Amino acid sequence: MDNRNDARDFLASRRAKITPEQAGLPTSGGNRRVPGLRRGEVATLAGVSVEYYTRLERGNLAGVSESVLEALARALQLDEAESAHLFDLARTAGTSKRQRRSAPQQVRPSVQFALDAITDAPAFVRNARMDILAANKLGLALHSEMYVNPVRPANYARFIFLDEERARRFFPDWELAANNMVAILRTEAGRDPFDRGLSDLVGELSTRSDEFRTRWAAHNVRRHYSGFKHFHHPVVGELRLLFEAMELSADTGLSLFIYPAEPGSPSADALRLLASWAATQEVAEQPQAAPTAGGA
């Protein structure tokens, strides 16, 4: 698998976002034929020749030194996620590995015990392809809309783009959720371009969703460790939750997510109501059920 196209499009898209004024360069006035910076301007800012930068923007990142990558990141004003993505693209450039399909990921019993011990907040384990592999009762209840579809494991990206009507009700700011979802998948694709399951998921979504395909072409990337989530649950209504994500060091590629509510808030009351509802419902079959054919 050759990542030259991804490297080319990523660098070109970042260059197009920076104006000469933002870069501290003098402007000569008149119309510019390209949005953002010219290649020569990026080369000057990064301290490399125009010919060398042109080679890089054609996707030839194999063997590029860390110092040059750091200079490019500064010149293009990349944020932390974008800089890491650039380094990932360079790390995997020029390799001749073939895509491989990983064995189905399983959640260890001790991890499920830890999830079940969390009783006041939704908690779940997710892999890099956005599959929910395990959850506590509140986690299952929160994501009950995702489990309407019988395909397992439940997958955030498929829900957002292939069950769009339901997802737009669940995510009050669907545009933000969709943008973040694609940026997270793009980040993972740069980190591990040889994951066949991820490639299949991206191919499926690109084929079936114009919304996904347009966002994928933007080459935006994002890291997703903590922040704020806004949901509209069909049973309890508005939920405004915090979130924290922690990688499971003993389980490569898996992360634990916890969505607590601020104590004393309306969302805390709503979570208690959700817990009462979940106690009387069979919200979904266990999310770690084996994936169906074609699943991630």
The mean pLDDT value for 95-99 works out to 64
Q: Which residues contact 134 (CB under 8 A, 6 or more apart)?
A: 107, 111, 112, 115, 124, 125, 286, 287, 288
Task: Determine the Cα–Cα distance for residues 241 and 258; give it in Å rounded to an integer.
Answer: 9
pLDDT at position 173 is 97
Report whether pLDDT(189) > 80.
yes
Provide CATH code, domain 109-279: 3.30.450.180
The topology under which CATH files domain 4-92 is 434 Repressor (Amino-terminal Domain) (1.10.260)
The mean pLDDT value for 12-41 works out to 85
The mean pLDDT value for 2-23 works out to 91
The mean pLDDT value for 49-73 works out to 95
Cα angle: 263, vertex 266, 268; to 5 degrees: 45
Q: What are the DSSP calls for 36-53, one per residue?
A: S--HHHHHHHHTS-HHHH
pLDDT interval class at 35 (50, 70, 90): confident
The mean pLDDT value for 47-53 works out to 97
pLDDT at position 287 is 47
pLDDT at position 289 is 41
pLDDT at position 270 is 98
What percentage of the chain carries pLDDT values higher than 70? 90
The mean pLDDT value for 263-289 works out to 81
pLDDT at position 29 is 59
Q: 219-256: buried (b, 16+ CB within 10 Å) or exposed (e) per residue?
A: bbbbebeeeebebebeebeebbbebeeeeeeebebbbb
Amino acid (1-letter code) at residue 107: V
Give the three-state DSSP class for 94: coil
HSE (side-chain half, CA atoms, 13 Å) at 1? 17
Q: Where are the domains of the chain?
A: 4-92, 109-279
From 9-23, 26-40, 48-62, 229-243, the region with the lowest mean pLDDT: 26-40
- Put simply, whether the predicted model's pTM sits higher than 0.85 gets the answer yes
User: Helix count (H) and strand count (E) of the chain?
Assistant: 14, 5
Which strand ranges, in their side-by-side order, compose the sheet holding 132-135? Answer: 132-135, 123-127, 254-258, 237-247, 226-233
Report whether pLDDT(9) > 90.
yes
pLDDT interval class at 293 (50, 70, 90): very low
The whole-chain average pLDDT of the chain stands at: 90
Report whether pLDDT(291) > 50.
no
Would you give the distance in Å from CA 272 to the centre of its chain?
29
pLDDT interval class at 281 (50, 70, 90): confident
Residue that has been written with the tokens 């940026």 in this structure: 183
pLDDT at position 99 is 62
- How do beta strands 237-247 and 254-258 pair? antiparallel
Task: Determine the Cα–Cα distance for residues 174 and 159; give it in Å rounded to an integer.
Answer: 11
Q: How many CB atoms lie within 10 A of CB 101?
A: 10
HSE (side-chain half, CA atoms, 13 Å) at 94? 8
Report whether pLDDT(292) > 50.
no
pLDDT at position 285 is 47
Whether the CB-CB separation of 212 and 161 falls below 8 Å is answered with yes
pLDDT interval class at 288 (50, 70, 90): very low
Whether the CB-CB separation of 211 and 157 falls below 8 Å is answered with no
pLDDT at position 241 is 98
pLDDT interval class at 105 (50, 70, 90): confident
Residue that has been written with the tokens 């292939």 in this structure: 162
Distances, alpha carbon 77 to alpha carbons 72, 81, 157, 249, 281, in Å: 8, 11, 29, 31, 50
Q: How does pLDDT run across 126-159, given as a tens digit for each residue?
A: 999 999 999 999 999 999 999 999 999 999 999 9
